[in-house]
């Protein structure tokens, strides 16, 4: 059974604090291993990647077969069922339309001194997208990572999608083709991250790496950050549902299980002002777990990390939600917009009884790469801006420099940076001749 909490019960604050601070994932001690893998790839390049792929993925490659050929990609695309093709086509169209609206605008203006100021946006030159491989891989993640990069204008996009035991998911290759990615390497793990960051004889280095992965991939991303940019270090999935008693308990049960079935470390929480409704949802979860294909995973998640919290009202529910700062937040209430006004921290919000989080995973349009583990308090989901850089612009006229230069010179002297002040003073002296 999940944890049942009531904000009106004695000891709630301590119980709630324990819930949101509980460690949901065992921290594997992989950093030393990852450091050795990265060092090996930096030293030996292709040879290290090939050896590590044989060791971990049981696949024999050569420099010439690190990437899929265009014929292999075409063959995989032809193997995709028409219904799956149509679904991915629709998803790609909607994701692209949403992200097209995120493109920022350049700006320039003159201030009251006559100085010209502004900024200019430009895309990173190259990005590497990591996609977990095998039959458990997710074509939706390809679209969610590649389409924002393409919309941003990234000139070179490559994918690393391991294929353990040479098992390939045709949907992943079709999604890559839909997103405009032509180069797909069949490598994974920390060795793929190292190859993307530092390059090998065959694989050119990139400027940004995005995409989910296991503990080794996450540790490698941490280690190469600074050499390249990364999106985030994502933890286990999570969903928080705030619900009134007007929606079918079975719907909410399925919403909670939609994240629980991802991983035994995932977390599903229901907050409701109706205790009887909370009990009804818990019973619906138990009933669904009897028939769910991934019931072993979902059941372990719900048992270890699930929670039902009863509040005095929806305002208190919103306050608790902000403390949790969930990755996914469903507002299954009669007036979700009014409740949304009280919410400040969430990766993605799904409004109303008819908007299950699963729509956001595939077809809604917004990105499903989202901050986890309460990091929505200070970060956002993946967007076009993650593949772009803002460069500031400034142009002084003689008149503008004469007005603000003396203050800059003064501050330079205050910081004991003589050359700074002199670089301004030399120009001011020329103006005063």
pLDDT value at residue 433: 77
Same domain for 68 and 217? yes
The pLDDT > 90 percentage for the chain reads 92
What 8-state DSSP symbol labels residue 183? Answer: E
Residue with the bigger pLDDT between 239 and 22: it is: 239
Residue range(s) defining the domain that contains residue 62: 31-105+123-230
Judged by average pLDDT, the poorest of 94-98, 211-215, 354-358, 384-388 is 211-215
In a domain, 387, yes or no: no
Please, are residues 261 and 294 in contact by the beta-carbon 8 Å criterion? yes
Q: Which of 345, 364, 383 finishes a domain?
A: 364
pLDDT value at residue 26: 62
Mean predicted confidence (pLDDT) in 235-253: 96
Could you report the per-residue pLDDT of 198-233, keeping only the tens digit for each?
Answer: 999 999 999 999 998 888 999 999 999 999 999 998
In a domain, 323, yes or no: yes
Could you report the per-residue pLDDT of 295-316, keeping only the tens digit for each?
Answer: 999 999 999 999 999 999 999 9
Residue 285: partners with Cβ closer than 8 Å, 6 or more residues away: 2, 253, 256, 257, 302, 306
Same domain for 149 and 198? yes
Beta strand residue intervals within 133-186, DSSP E: 156-160, 183-185
pLDDT value at residue 140: 95
In a domain, 385, yes or no: no
Q: Which residue has the tokens 């993307």?
A: 196
In a domain, 114, yes or no: no
Same domain for 353 and 413? no
Same domain for 215 and 93? yes
Same domain for 100 and 135? yes
Distance between CA atoms of residues 217 and 234, nearest Å: 11
Q: Does the pTM of the predicted model rise above 0.85?
A: yes
In a domain, 391, yes or no: no
Residue 319 belongs to domain with CATH number: 3.40.50.1980
Residues in the chain, overall count? 433
Residue with the bigger pLDDT between 433 and 153: it is: 153
Q: 136 falls in which pLDDT band (50, 70, 90)?
A: low
Specify the DSSP element, H or E, that contains 14.
helix 12-21
Same domain for 219 and 240? no
Distance between CA atoms of residues 79 and 168, nearest Å: 11
Q: Which residue has the tokens 């076009």?
A: 384
pLDDT value at residue 235: 85
Same domain for 99 and 218? yes
Q: 331 falls in which pLDDT band (50, 70, 90)?
A: very high
Task: Write out the catalytic residue numbers.
Answer: 327-328
In a domain, 118, yes or no: no
pLDDT of 133 above 90: no
In our burial notation (b when 16+ CB lie closer than 10 A, e otherwise), range 345-365 reads bbbbbbbebebbbbebbbbbe
The pLDDT > 70 percentage for the chain reads 98
**What are 103's two structure tokens?**
């493109």
In a domain, 111, yes or no: no
What are the backbone dihedrals phi and psi of residue 344, each rounded to the nearest 5 degrees, phi first? -120, -25
Same domain for 140 and 202? yes
Please, are residues 243 and 336 in contact by the beta-carbon 8 Å criterion? no
In a domain, 287, yes or no: yes
Same domain for 155 and 76? yes
Q: 134 falls in which pLDDT band (50, 70, 90)?
A: low
pLDDT of 121 above 70: yes
pLDDT value at residue 135: 54
Looking at every residue in the chain, the average pLDDT score rounds to 95
Mean predicted confidence (pLDDT) in 381-401: 97
- How many domains is the chain built from? 3
Q: Which of 197, 230, 263 finishes a domain?
A: 230
Same domain for 41 and 179? yes
Could you report the per-residue pLDDT of 407-427, keeping only the tens digit for each?
Answer: 999 999 999 999 999 999 999
Same domain for 240 and 210? no
Specify the DSSP element, H or E, that contains 5.
strand 3-6
DSSP assignment of 331-398 equals EESS-HHHHHTT----SEEEESTT--HHHHHHTSSS------TTGGGT-----GGGGEEEEEEEE--H
Same domain for 216 and 270? no
């Amino acid at each position: 059974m999940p944890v049942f909490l009531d904000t009106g019960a004695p000891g709630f604050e301590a119980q709630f604090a324990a819930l949101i601070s509980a460690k949901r994932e065992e921290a594997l001690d992989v950093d030393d291993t990852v450091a050795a893998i990265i060092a090996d790839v930096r030293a030996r390049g292709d040879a290290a990647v090939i050896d590590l792929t044989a060791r971990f993925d049981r696949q024999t490659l050569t420099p010439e077969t690190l990437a899929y050929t265009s014929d292999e990609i075409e063959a995989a695309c032809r193997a995709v069922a028409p219904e799956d093709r149509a679904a991915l086509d629709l998803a790609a169209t909607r994701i692209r339309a949403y992200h097209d609206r995120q493109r920022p605008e350049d700006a320039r203006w003159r201030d009251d001194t006559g100085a010209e100021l502004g900024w200019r946006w430009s895309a990173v030159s190259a990005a590497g997208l990591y996609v977990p491989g095998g039959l458990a891989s997710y074509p939706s993640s390809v679209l969610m990572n590649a389409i924002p990069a393409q919309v941003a204008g990234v000139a070179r996009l490559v994918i690393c999608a391991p294929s353990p035991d040479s098992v390939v998911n045709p949907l992943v290759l079709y999604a890559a083709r839909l997103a405009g990615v032509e180069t797909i390497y069949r490598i994974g793990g920390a060795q793929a991250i190292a190859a993307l960051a530092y390059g090998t004889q065959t694989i050119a280095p990139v400027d940004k790496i995005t995409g989910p992965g296991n503990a080794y991939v996450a540790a490698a991303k941490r280690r190469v950050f600074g050499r390249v940019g990364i999106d985030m270090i994502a933890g286990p999935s999570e969903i928080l549902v705030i619900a009134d008693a007007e929606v079918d308990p079975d719907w909410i049960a399925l919403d909670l299980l939609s994240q629980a079935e991802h991983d035994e470390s995932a977390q599903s929480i229901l907050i409701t002002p109706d205790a009887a409704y909370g009990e009804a949802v818990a019973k619906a979860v138990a009933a669904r777990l009897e028939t769910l294909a991934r019931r072993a995973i979902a059941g372990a998640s719900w048992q270890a990390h699930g929670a039902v919290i009863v509040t005095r009202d929806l305002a208190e529910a919103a306050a608790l939600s902000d403390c949790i700062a969930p990755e996914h937040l469903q507002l299954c209430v009669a007036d979700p917009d009014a409740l949304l006004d009280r919410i400040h921290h969430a990766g993605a919000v799904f409004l109303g009884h008819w908007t299950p989080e699963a729509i956001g995973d595939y077809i809604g349009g917004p990105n499903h790469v989202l901050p986890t583990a309460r990091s929505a308090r200070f970060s956002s989901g993946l967007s076009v801006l993650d593949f772009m850089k803002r460069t500031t612009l400034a142009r002084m006229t003689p008149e503008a420099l004469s007005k603000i230069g003396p203050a800059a010179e003064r501050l330079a002297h205050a910081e004991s940076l003589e050359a700074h002040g002199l670089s301004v003073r030399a120009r001011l002296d020329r103006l005063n001749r």
